[in-house]
Amino acid sequence: MTPKPYTHRDAVPYRPLDWTGVYPPAYDRGTVPNHVAIVMDGNGRWANRRGLTRIEGHKAGEAALLDVVAGGIQAGVKHLSVYAFSTENWSRSPDEVRFLMGYNRDVLHRRRDQLNEWGVRIRWAGRKPRLWSSVIKELQYAEQLTAGNDALTLTMCVNYGGRIEIVDAMRSIADDVAAGRLKPSAVSEKLIQRRLYRPDMPDVDLFLRSSGEQRTSNFLLWESAYAEFVFLDTLWPDFTRADLWRGIDVYLGRERRFGGAVDEPARG
């Protein structure tokens, strides 16, 4: 039997970073957001609008992810965190959940060498309970394989929830306090950060969401306390590196104040 031709949009072959021949604008030094977080949303709507099942929409998202990672490296983004499966996504149909689990595992398996070639350090943020062990294994393998890379850190947020991340941090602190290893007065923002899933993850600078939805859906709550939020209408399967750069442009037009203020009467 001849194998079915591999026609899907996810069939992106291994390529150099700049295979599309498009390049980001020349950003001023030091202005590009260091950490971009992306809620990859809109797969289901993209598929349903074409008369396809939601699962076909997820499959089409693989190419978008690869393109955006490449565009992130080109732009000089150092940390890219992507929401792949939330702790709330377990409420979807068993078929969709099963597909998403297998799909996350397979995408990591298929793409780790390409990402490694590009110098991407892959990491996982999320919790173990309920997550398929085959997914955890792929995440851990990819982490080991790419541990020495520094072009861009790609954090795959799988079985991730912002509130439960804070709960998990609180539990570990409470354990230490109860055991007398830690004084309550030693609990600080820094200490809490050190108990998050990825203690060295920097704060999010640009929080980007596709598909027009304007909410966080529990993504990187602690880390995004001072992020700039940009919502683009593009559905995730249509998303490209150019959309990432468009998001960066909007970000660059924002004034980040971090609670400070400068008196500038002339500007009104």
Radius of gyration of the chain measured on its C-alpha atoms: 20
Q: Are the C-beta atoms of residues 82 and 104 closer than 8 Å to each other?
A: no
> If contact means CB under 5 to 8 A according to the sort of partner, which of ligand IPE, Mg ion, none does residue 39 touch?
ligand IPE
Binding mask 83-102 for ligand IPE (x = CB under 6 A): xxxx--x----------x--
Give the helix/strand (H/E) hosting 173: helix 162-178
**Nearer residue to Mg ion within complex by CB, 41 or 165:** 41
Q: Are the C-beta atoms of residues 160 and 219 closer than 8 Å to each other?
A: yes
**Nearer residue to ligand IPE within complex by CB, 194 or 215:** 215
Closest CA to 197 of 229, 179, 219: 219
**Piece of 9-17, 33-41, 57-65, 118-126 that binds Mg ion (CB under 5 A):** 33-41
- Residue 31 Cβ vs ligand IPE, minimum distance, rounded to whole Å: 27
Using a 10 angstrom Cβ sphere, with 0-12 exposed, 13-18 middle and 19 or more buried, the burial of residue 231 is: middle
Is 45 a binding residue for ligand IPE by CB under 6 A? The answer is: yes
Residues 161-220 that bind ligand IPE (CB under 6 A): 211, 213, 215, 217
Q: Which of 10, 41, 138, 165 binds Mg ion (CB under 5 A)?
A: 41
Q: Are the C-beta atoms of residues 215 and 43 closer than 8 Å to each other?
A: no
β partners of residue 85: 158
Q: Give me 228's structure tokens.
A: 């700039």
Q: Is 41 considered catalytic here?
A: yes
Q: Are strands 79-86 and 35-39 parallel, antiparallel or unpaired?
A: parallel
Q: Which of 32, 36, 37, 40 binds ligand IPE (CB under 6 A)?
A: 40
Q: Is 48 considered catalytic here?
A: no
| Annotated catalytic residue, options 10, 43, 67, 89 | 89
Please give the span between the terminal C-alpha atoms of the chain, in angstroms, as a whole number. 73
**Nearer residue to ligand IPE within complex by CB, 54 or 198:** 54
Binding site for ligand IPE (CB under 6 A): 39-45, 54, 83-86, 89, 100, 211, 213, 215, 217
Catalytic residues: 41, 89
Binding site for Mg ion (CB under 5 A): 41
